[in-house]
Every structure is written in structure tokens, then in C-alpha cells.
Amino acid sequence: MDDIKNWLHALVVGILDDTSALEILTKEDEMGVLYTITGIAPDERGKIIGRQGKTAEALRTLLRSVGMSKNVRAALRIDIPDFSQPKEGEV
């Protein structure tokens, strides 16, 4: 499990410029392992999410694939504080 965490950390460090507060937390339960990326600088949010969430989805797909190769059900959560979705009707 630590090798998956290290792999994910290396991948995220390659995407972001400011990694001073970057941290990857793990939580294991009966459903598998949840990897949470925290400490993303406010101006780096767009890089980790990508256009229409494509970068985040690619990270999730890669993590699931690596997890499957190690017989681990892996999921990814990207924790971005103060990030709010537009309310319904707002553009």
C-alpha cells in the first residue's frame, strides 16, 4: 500500500508546481483504500482537476488500475478547501 501512495505522490508532484503543503492520506476499510490528496495551493486547483475534471478522472483511473494490479480496491479523493460548486441556476 505504501508503494501505491509513493507512486501517487510522485505523479501528483509532477503535475503541481507548489508541493510544499502536499500530503496524501490513506484510509483503509472493508471497501478498500481511500487515498486523499490534501494541501493543494489555491492557485494549483485547476491543474489537479483539469478541464472538465479530466485530469482528476485520469488520476482516478490510473489509481484504480494500479490498485487492481496489487489486488487492492483503491479510490481517490481530492480535498480542496473553500471550493464550492456553482449553485443550480448560476453560470
Residue-wise pLDDT for 39-66, tens only, equals 999 889 999 999 999 999 999 999 999 9
Mean of the per-residue pLDDT values for the chain? Answer: 89
3-state secondary structure of 25: strand
pTM listed for this prediction: 0.84
Which one, of 88, 79, 85, 82, lies nearest residue 25 by Cα?
A: 79
Q: Predicted confidence band at 90 (pLDDT cuts at 50, 70, 90)?
A: low
Distance between CA atoms of 10 and 76, rounded to whole angstroms? 15
User: For residue 37, what are the β-bridge partners?
Assistant: 24, 78
Q: Which grid coordinates are listed for 74?
A: 483503491
3-state secondary structure of 39: coil
CB 28 within 8 A of CB 68: no
